[in-house]
Structure 1
């Protein structure tokens, strides 16, 4: 059947592509893609989903890893969460640390990224490598260094403060300074966040700064009206990731305070993940430890949903959709 044009002449109907062949190729590509990612899928199902299901089962039982016995416990383990004072203590310490550490990590990482962004290409590559080296340092080595730096009597930090006439605190002994000492150790590895900010800064169009300069905008106004809105998605992403990491903080507190079982550590250094580790691998109370892990899972999910619901309103998207 022919189609008439406006001039009365006939036009050839468009040729339809072979759908069967295209569908065959799409199916073949999909199968090949799933085959390539099948090791990850198997690992995710076994070591993540399977482990979560098993831990949920263990949380409703009295499970002993040494004897391999499992007896039903009902909700006893979850009831113990509200009876054990150390659970609430460790949870308060963790939340207080997260409120203190996350904003500082974002600010320090953003400042470092701005410095690297303003530097020349050659020097930026060198400093970017130097700034990222602490991220590659093993946590045990970092903890050993900070044990020396934070020593209240002979530490380098207190000696540096003494030069300006400031008497440094007992970082690792005074309960009021325990969390700030852990925050300082956390800031040592802030370069991973810095790299994300640097990538976001490199994607900000230069034309925006040129036009704002012609309108008389200074550096401060350019930062708050151009830079910060344009990298708000990176800020929001780092806020989510750093909050989740802070709530699961374990390495710094354990290596600084709880590595030696015979030592008496201040209660302000008892974080949630550390207490969970003690219950699981020192007391061998895996049922209670599993219940603790699921409580933290619920808390992390609640905080993440809250951030996604309210924080997403302040994120700028180029398409205009939020």
Structure 2
């Protein structure tokens, strides 16, 4: 009677390599639609836009090579570009912190034992499900000169401005609208709050810590990973704001109001599809990409100082 064959460590069974190849084949087969879609609709156009940013191209004739001239013109001889960049910074610098603070406040409120919590959670998250175009059309009525917002301000003796007709108030109007979508951040923060161990709060109460001290010493540190995620996503979204500006702020005879709120992506859109300066618009897109990349890297670099992970030992 012969003893059964025993495989040595480091050796594979005869059929294992064949099974692994078959599994790898099925893996690449299932993931291939995403890979093809990424190469055709993302990576390919990105590489093409790098080339077009170095050309003078109107999308109808053959592109003419101009080198770095588009970038030089943007940075040295285009006041509209710098205004759009400033409006983008202004919008991002106010709307992102406002969304973070509002989402944190709402999450902390809903985490307490209040009446109709489920209804309130639904109402707070509901605006994020409304299409952006529909939201913009609603806020066009809310921010009208005789709209509900100015009427509410008039009831307390404040004369409301022409939000969408005055260039100096158009960007604040967009910031007010951005607070409408704080529900997505609220849901994530609320879920994170539910995951904080109750033993920490019980120990803090034994030590005599009040509600404020518990929030700053326990709740907030445990929420920093979610706050960091919301910061990154909110910042990227704020730098790419488009539909709100293009739909809310009128153009034509009221071009001054639009110029007072124009951000980078609407400017890029006008250059590409309004003036047919595709090469110039490609250069704008890559400068915008560099701006977003720099701010994202700064956020990741500074995250080491304030983002707390439970499994991380410092």
TM norm structure 1: 0.88
Structure 1 spans left out of the alignment, 5+ residues: 1-12
Listed one character per residue, the Cα deviations across residues 210-265 of structure 1 (whole Å, up to 9, x for unaligned) are: 1111111111111110011011111111111111111111111111115x545424
Using a 3 Å threshold, how does the CA distance of structure 1 residues 38 and 314 change in structure 2: closer, same or farther?
A: same
Whole-Å separation in 1 of the counterparts to 2:256 and 2:20: 60
Report what 2:207 is aligned to.
215
Whole-Å separation in 2 of the counterparts to 1:224 and 1:22: 54
Counterpart check, 1:278 vs 2:267 = no
Whole-Å separation in 1 of the counterparts to 2:10 and 2:66: 63
Using a 3 Å threshold, how does the CA distance of structure 1 residues 119 and 176 change in structure 2: closer, same or farther?
A: farther
Whole-Å separation in 2 of the counterparts to 1:166 and 1:174: 17
Counterpart check, 1:305 vs 2:297 = yes
Report what 1:71 is aligned to.
64
Instruction: Compare 18-27 and 180-189 and name the one that shifted more.
Output: 18-27
Report what 1:10 is aligned to.
none
Report what 2:176 is aligned to.
184
Whole-Å separation in 2 of the counterparts to 1:272 and 1:289: 10
Whole-Å separation in 2 of the counterparts to 1:22 and 1:207: 48
Whole-Å separation in 1 of the counterparts to 2:226 and 2:156: 38
Report what 1:229 is aligned to.
221
Counterpart check, 1:29 vs 2:23 = yes
Whole-Å separation in 2 of the counterparts to 1:225 and 1:176: 40
Report what 2:95 is aligned to.
101
Is the contact between residue 94 and residue 272 of structure 1 (CA under 8 Å) also seen in structure 2? yes
Report what 1:156 is aligned to.
148
Listed one character per residue, the Cα deviations across residues 92-121 of structure 1 (whole Å, up to 9, x for unaligned) are: 11001111111000011111222222247x
2:106 counterpart (96, 101, 112): 112
Is the contact between residue 172 and residue 181 of structure 1 (CA under 8 Å) also seen in structure 2? yes
Is the contact between residue 186 and residue 252 of structure 1 (CA under 8 Å) also seen in structure 2? no
Structure 2 spans left out of the alignment, 5+ residues: 1-5
Using a 3 Å threshold, how does the CA distance of structure 1 residues 286 and 213 change in structure 2: closer, same or farther?
A: same
Whole-Å separation in 2 of the counterparts to 1:251 and 1:39: 29
What secondary structure, in the 3-state scheme, does the structure 1 residue paired with 2:203 have? helix
TM norm structure 2: 0.90
Is the contact between residue 257 and residue 265 of structure 1 (CA under 8 Å) also seen in structure 2? no
Please, what is the CA RMSD of the aligned residues? Answer: 2.2
Question: How many residues matched?
Answer: 306
Where in structure 1 do 4 or more consecutive aligned residues deviate above 4 Å?
A: 13-18, 21-27
Listed one character per residue, the Cα deviations across residues 116-173 of structure 1 (whole Å, up to 9, x for unaligned) are: 22247x9443332222221121222211211111122x11011112222222222123
Could you tell me how far 1:22 is from its partner in structure 2? 5.2
What secondary structure, in the 3-state scheme, does the structure 2 residue paired with 1:19 have? coil
Report what 1:140 is aligned to.
133
